[in-house]
Structure formats: C-alpha cells, structure tokens
Structure 1
C-alpha cells in the first residue's frame, strides 16, 4: 500500500504546489485529488502552469495535468434556477404518508408538515386496545408557508440565505428546519412539547427517521433523510469533491507505473481470497528439492449473525407473529403480523373496523414466486431485501377479487439505531398493495431465510 500512497502524495501535493504557487497547505484536506492514468499522450506540448512532468524511481515519465479550479458555491447558486427549498419540501409536506420509527416500547410517527407523535398500544385478549400517546409537536402547512415568506436582513428569502449545517457521521450536511410546537403538555415542565425537524439531502431517502433525540426535557430533535432537497445546490453535502489528475505516459513508459500495476494485481488477488473465498494454489520447493503444490482451501461461507445490540427477543416475537408492526395515519391505520396477515383498521366509538389486505399461506407464496421469478431472494450474501406474498384478503368492491399485498423486508444500515423501523404502504394498483418495512434488524436476518425467502427454524 505504501507505493501507491507515495505516488499519490508526490503527485497530488507537488502538482498542486506548482500550479498554485505554493498557496496550498499540504496538511489540509479541503481539496482532494485522484490520479487517472490516462494512457500515452500523442501530442506533447510544453509544460505550462497547469502541467508538470513526473518521473518514478524506475525512470518512467508521466505528464500530469491538474483539473480546472472547482466551481464555487456562489457560482453554483447563480446557475441554479430551479424550485426553492420550500417548493421542493412542499411535495413532502402535502403527501399523505407518514414515517415511522419502532422501538421496543414506543412507536414514533412523523407526518411531515403536520405532527410528530409517540404512542404505545396495549392489546389484551378480548378487550378493546388501549392507546397511550403524546404529540411531541404540531405544525400546519399555512404556518410553514408564512415562515417561508419571511425575509432575512439582506432582503432575501430566509431559507435561501440562512442555510444551516450539521455534522453527521463526519460529513457536513446542510439542513432544512421545521419547528413543531404546541404538543402535549409535559408532565415535568407543564409546557407544551416541541420538536425541531431537520431535513437533510440523501439521494435514496424518502423521509425516514435517521435520528431522534430528546435534547432537553420534552424538547426533541429529529433528523430526516430525503431526496427532494438534493435538487437544490445549497442543500447538498459539503464534503469536498474529488478532482481527477490526468497522468499521461511519455517516452514509451507503460500506461501505469509497473510497481503500481503489480501492487494492484496483488491487492486484487488478496481481496478475492478474503471476500470470495477462492481456492488458492502455491508452488514451493521443499528442503530436499522436491517441488510441491500447496492448496489453501476455500473459506466456508460465513454464517449470518445478528448484531449484539439487536433485541433478539423482539426478533423472536416478530418471527412468530406475536409482535406486530403498526403504521398509518388519518382514518385508516395498518398492521403487519409476520406469518399471519397484513390489514388496515379504523377505531372509533363504535369499535374497530378491519379490512384484511392479505393472509400468509406458504403454498400460495411459492406459487407467486414461480409466476414472478424476479421476486425470488438473491443468493446468500447479496440480499438487501426479500419479498413475501400475502394473498386472499377481503374482496375488493371495485374489482371483485381478493386483496393482495407484497411485503418487502428491507435491510437499511443504521448502527446508531439498531431497532429503528420505517413502514410505507402503497397501493400502485386498486386493491393490490406493497408494504415496505425497512430496518437494520433485517440486515443480519435476511440471509437466514431459505431460497423462498421464508424463515424456518431460525436460531436467534
């Protein structure tokens, strides 16, 4: 590894120092470079202020060209003529779905642009469910529009001129802040609960709760991942981009330094042995002069394990159907019990109205996989999600057929919150549903499912 770093340090720092006349501090990492070995350079020009010739210890010569100066934040803002941050966020505030975080006791419900709620439902057989809930903050679209219309001291839109940044996992992330107030009165302070919701750009985010903390008594802070903000240059991550230095071979030198080429081959082989478990043969000569081939056997496939911080009892109860996941807002809420059913329900003074979206049946699930082969689980070690078929639900009035639901159990890495669960229910076709359940819990669990995606006799 040392040779590569020597090449990189020599090229990156020497070229940068030459180009910028020594104005770059070599101990700063505000501008990152990556070398691209771009092959021979047919037309050789004189070395100018953006180029230099580098010679390796093996007398291999390369002309290295530093990239153009990076576009500044102000230049990016001038070129941007798209929607404002509020206009982008409004698509999230006006949607009907909510985000959920399920912990061992409390479930947290965030309805964007509406409220943040925590609740726990106790179910005793033969009795009506008992609900314990607290609103941690409320907000309306009208108040958000009013806040967006406020101007800062420079006469510009408040959210466009005062972009705040929070460092998360070592990355500086700009965020869009929503303040929720007037929640359920706090038992200790007697003041209404309130919450700060910080939305950050994440290209694959769709409003899930990344972090939820009680910063002080009955005052909360929630970090939300969303892709909608990524369209605005001011809200993209502030980690520095990596610029490419183009290095071209001169005077018959190889396209890439020989030592670097050898190093990459050795690293690739070592990586294959480590990650792919390939069988490796080595020829050697014994002291008596006899040649022998030594075979390093293929490593056994790793046994999937669950993280030590995961609540294993919770997983056991989930896989037996004793622990159900709840979500939804408004009139209908939904409930998923693994190996049993997916359903919607509504509670009012007259009792509970239930609509079953699908029941579990192993044979029906296998037939569904045969008809939809692309839904089969990937090989062990490559799984990010598994799909399960819940069919034979209540008859749909519009189609006259039984409701069906595809349940996706999806692995989402989040070491800080190993119990976090996000649920999303969609209806892409009338009475045909997709229920997505995302959680770090599934990351150590998916490989324990069989080839049909079914958990059978799983040891937790």
Structure 2
C-alpha cells in the first residue's frame, strides 16, 4: 500500500523485528543435552572460561510466523464480514498537517505527512541549509516504481507508544528510506505487532583444567568467540 507522492514513495508495513536471543549457561554438574543435532561452537567469556554452546534452529520460527500471518489474514477477512474496518490511510489521517523530526548530527530530517520530506542543517534553531527529498502530489501514483534516480520511500509501521521517525537511511545517492512508527496502525489486524520470537543459546561450562584428550582434540583448530553478557542476567542451571 502506498501514498501518492512525487519523488517520495510511501509504503505501509509491519514492525520489523529480528529474532531475539538469550544465552543460558549450564554448569559442569548439570550440562545441557541437546535433543536435536544442533550446531555447536566453542566460546569463552571475558574471564577466559570456555563454553560449548549449542545454536538453536531458527528456521522453525518461519513456519510459526507463516501460520501467524495466515491467522491474521483470516481474522481480517472475518472482521470485514462483521464490521467495516478503517483503512490504514484513514487511521493515520490523524497525523495530517503534522511534521515529525529526527536529528542526526549535522543533518536533521523533517517529514510532514502529505506534504514533504526535507533534509535540514540548523544553527541556533535556524535553517541555514535545506534539501527537499520528496514532495506530496495526489496526482502521481507509484512514484518509486518509475525508475526515478532520486526516489525516497517512507515506511509506516505499527509501533508503540508515539509517532516518531525511528530511522532514516540513504541507501544510494539521493535515495532515502524513512521508517515512521505509528501506534494508530496497530488497530488494524494486518498491522498488529508479532510477538518477538525468543531463541535460547545453551552453553555448557567446560572444565578449566581440561585433561580429557577427547575434549582437547575438539578444541584444536576451533575459532574462539568471546561472550559479552550482563553479569546480572547470567546464571547456571
């Protein structure tokens, strides 16, 4: 779904979340025993303690996500049968005539819904330099599909608690991607946030004085990765 802009394509999308990971440490007295054939890697913490860590099978979450999206689509269709839902355009109409800002060092960025996207340089709260990166035009459709070299795109995502520009990136010369968090979009079934998928990396503590030759052999030629974690969150089971 896209708003009509000249030189500024706008799309709606769900809040993008990378899978979250947590590390669970296990003592030598109570090691973790993987049920599946998990990939393992030798790691060490800042104190030099070695751990054999088992990486989770992240691929399994794709199936869960697909089911979640399918259920969301079914819920949307069912809701349409009962009530008339507001469209995403109608939901974000409350930010019409409002502007939002993001400050990134030398440059600041201003996005005014249904108006424009500007790159600004401020000195003493005064604009001393500006570049217009996109201007709203209701007569132009699918601007970012017309091979314009200076096209910028604004993504609207469901996210709490307030409307803010969460990120802006120049992916190529004069081409920007802006992400605007809009909590009002969360009212629409297709924009409701997915629950972050949590994956656990299980790490078995290795004896400091390794005398078992089989363990020593397993360490030869292994790239050691250092674990940096919050000591308050670390605990052996």
Q: Normalising by structure 1, what TM-score?
A: 0.26
- Structure showing greater Rg: 1
Structure with bigger RCO (C-alpha 8 Å, 6+ apart): 2
